[in-house]
Chains A and B, each alone.
Chain A
């Protein structure tokens, strides 16, 4: 199914609903008395788009708008994901003191625009479309990161994010131009056909893939494109940090899988993939995956700010997910998708509690968590402990099942990948130390007499 512009519109309903909601928000922001109603409209729009997306699951897969974007269950999965993350983020924003001080109309507008960008990231099947969607997400993210007007950290974070983002996407589009130059097309299908038919200079293709990886890697947050993330996580408003940590990562994963798997690889009947060009990009990912998880975990060990610690833990989790790509198998890909969902739940959950506590205490320093369980906040403390142990990957929590699927996909490939599995397993042990440090502070430490009792939590 390869549809023209007008015929495509029926299958484009989720995007249309989100766009209409965005426009509606801009207009209503001028006349609405209660800013709270804007959030509710945004949620309603997301919910409607969610229904429209789920409805498309039974549709026949195909290309829309002259092969610009793909309609398949893979992209629908990520659309549902982005919408779920957006709804959770709006819900968190409603209870956040940070967001109450800013222009809420613009905030929700930009948030939905960012989600729209993620829709396109997950479904683009053309390098141009991929670039544009990535930029749409990036630009809105820069603004949202710097959305706290009188907060220096927020502004600093936004500037850093912008500079890193600019360099990364510049590198990426440079790499794309190489691919275009060699294969003569921006369309993934045509690129695949060209790579399958002709032999290209391997070094040139390798460089092009690495350049493109820089742009994707900056969204997924893997080493060495991770430097922006701790500052941005710490500076951005907490609800948006939660959104960024899961949705941006997931969208990056989607665009990367889309390009590197159906784009430049071929699937064998057994469900394993092989690189078409003979270029060893999977080994680059394998190496970066080990680096990413190790560096993320080691840097997280000594963080005093919980948001910053979660930023480094997010880097480590990106590393775990990349294992699923490096092994070039369908099992690995489905393990990644499963992990992303689990990661959404546990990470947003953790940020939810962090945000609630920051609302009372003012910041996210780990000192504020001292003896939390004995200061009248047993339920949030227990919830946070569950989310953190799940992030560690301990059974019986979902994080364990996520890691279990990833590890089993890696072990199944066997051979040298066993080393990757061992590195990842040892990394989970390292991660326990810093996750347990928060748990320790909440449960094992006694509160200081001057610490405030936390009450009225649990909205």
Chain B
């Protein structure tokens, strides 16, 4: 299985082209799309088996010439930072195809764009060449714009362009930062591995220009910031988060799942892949305020916003903002527990929030609204549905025995060793989370059933099929987290070792 990463990336792309040529029969297109996302899923299981858990470096590396004049190569490979994301992407893409079976407007276009999006996401996590990385990063924008804009809800146009503008703003800064790094390494190259190896070339000497001389920023800090803004928009970190609730509320269910499950992870993944190993001095200097404090603020702010929401989907969207805060906080601690917890939280958030959005989709398909106050007593009408929902809500809340608990505890354990104050703030977020989730359960599922929805049909087989795998993963990781943690540890420890020497005091 040489070039397995290339297959995983380009099979969906080839599928997108084939979908355009298929006859205009919705059934054929849906099942073909499901079939085309199966091989990447199987390959990801194979990767999970073959991945060498003791090695910190890149594995399954592919390296080919592409544009030699600019030293751009086609380089793919994964390590502990990216493998969990690759697994998550393969799984969610497969499941979301099934979650999209309800789409009936321009089916061909939808599935072609979806597969294109799938290819872009997989490519971002596998690319080791910065140019390639950037191309994949941007290629995702177009399908996402159309998927939200054409198949979304009433305010879809606004949401789609807002998402597009925010992300492009971040990525043009990233492009300039990439070029700045490119011209500093010798020989000039876009190979991320060489950029990491030559991290000491990026000067941290304070620049004599206002305002950088006031802040004590060097070249490295400025570049760090450019990357950080690009990634923070994707995470989304406060104050760049405002596109997220809009995009989530308007996007169709499957796209919300992808957005929360995979796209948000790209932000934190990018910080771990780029900012940490390539700009270690700046990371050590800026992590407290821009990752740690901002992360803690994200946790609390997101939770408070979620509490105020009347729309079920918007509530889940803000809970994403809150949960991604744990990832940022954990990364900033530079301890084994903290960083492992952060990456595990990325994985867990993908599965748990995926479930939450699918569950919201189930009830929206039946009631055609998502007002929290408009329901009530769903537990008696749809007991099975309510059971699955409870599992997802408790996992999101961080109930012991479910996956969310493990990652949040690891993060807080790790951060405690370095920033006690931030830990207290972050831990208070757990209480707020429990607050809004339990309150929501009470309002939507408990109490007397709403007369209007007495006849609401129970969750069907297709919907269960998309939810069960995620639920099983949530329980397995909750009981035996080493399944995922073993994949990460070696690479993440090495990452910590790069930063720790540069920490002050």
Contact = CB atoms under 8 A, between A and B. Distances in A.
Do they bind each other?
Answer: yes
B168 interface: yes
Interface string A385-415: 0000100101110001000100110011010
Contacts of A404: 175
A272 to B, nearest CB: 14
Contacts of A414: 183
Given A395-B139, A444-B156, A444-B157, A428 B176 contact: no
A206 interface: no
Given A426-B169, A444-B156, A411 B179 contact: yes
Given A396-B139, A412-B183, A436-B161, A444 B150 contact: yes
Contacts, number: 69
Contacts of A428: 168, 172
Interface in B133-159: 134-135, 138-139, 141-142, 145-146, 149-150, 156-157
A281 interface: no
B173 A396 contact: no
Contacts of A400: 138
Nearest to B138: A395
A426 B173 CA distance: 8
Given A429-B168, A440-B161, A389 B142 contact: yes
Contact of B176 (A392, A407, A429): A407
B106 to A, nearest CB: 8
Interface in A148-179: none
A422 interface: yes
A393 to B, nearest CB: 8
B323 to A, nearest CB: 28
B168 A432 contact: yes
A426 B168 CA distance: 9
Contacts of A392: 168
Contact of B179 (A407, A426, A433, A436): A407
A376 B145 CA distance: 22
Given A407-B175, A408-B179, A411-B183, A432 B150 contact: no
A425 interface: yes
Contact of B157 (A418, A426, A440): A440
A312 interface: no
B19 interface: no
Interface in B370-424: none
A426 B134 CA distance: 17
A54 to B, nearest CB: 23
B243 to A, nearest CB: 13
A228 interface: no
Given A395-B139, A408-B179, A425 B172 contact: yes
A412 B141 CA distance: 28
Interface string B63-93: 0000000100000000000000000000000
B176 A421 contact: yes
Given A433-B165, A440-B149, A443-B146, A425 B139 contact: no
A395 B176 contact: no
Interface in B171-188: 172-173, 175-176, 179-180, 182-183
A10 B150 CA distance: 59
Nearest to A413: B183
A444 to B, nearest CB: 4
B175 A432 contact: no
Contacts of B332: none
Given A394-B141, A443-B146, A429 B169 contact: yes
A409 to B, nearest CB: 10
Nearest to B173: A425
B290 interface: no
B430 to A, nearest CB: 37
Contacts of A418: 176, 180
A429 B163 CA distance: 12
B228 to A, nearest CB: 15
A395 B70 CA distance: 17
B356 to A, nearest CB: 27
Contacts of A395: 134-135, 138-139
Contacts of A425: 172-173, 175-176
Nearest to B209: A416
B101 interface: no
B164 A436 contact: yes
Contacts of A433: 161, 165
Nearest to B157: A444
B160 interface: yes
Interface in A402-459: 404, 407-408, 411-412, 414, 418, 421-422, 425-426, 428-429, 432-433, 436, 440, 443-445
A429 B141 contact: no
A366 to B, nearest CB: 14
Contacts of A440: 149, 157, 160-161
A22 to B, nearest CB: 40
A400 B168 CA distance: 13
A165 B168 CA distance: 38
Contacts of B135: 395-396
Nearest to B161: A436
Contacts of B150: 443-444
A421 B183 CA distance: 14
Interface in B261-309: none
Contacts of B145: 436
Interface string B168-210: 1100110110011011000000000000000000000000000
Contacts of B172: 425-426, 428-429
Q: Which of A389, A407, A440 has the most CB of B within 10 A?
A: A440
Contacts of B161: 433, 436, 440
B218 to A, nearest CB: 14
Given A425-B173, A429-B165, A436-B164, A394 B180 contact: no
A178 B397 CA distance: 78
Nearest to B170: A429
* 8 shortest interchain CB distances as A-B pairs: A425-B172, A411-B179, A444-B149, A395-B135, A395-B138, A429-B169, A408-B179, A444-B157
28 contacts: A389-B142, A392-B168, A394-B138, A394-B142, A395-B135, A396-B135, A396-B138, A404-B175, A407-B175, A408-B70, A408-B182, A408-B183, A414-B183, A418-B176, A418-B180, A422-B173, A425-B172, A426-B172, A432-B165, A433-B161, A433-B165, A436-B161, A440-B149, A443-B150, A444-B149, A444-B156, A444-B157, A444-B160
Given A421-B179, A422-B176, A425-B175, 12 more contacts: A389-B142, A396-B139, A408-B179, A411-B183, A426-B169, A428-B168, A429-B168, A436-B161, A440-B149, A440-B160, A443-B150, A444-B160
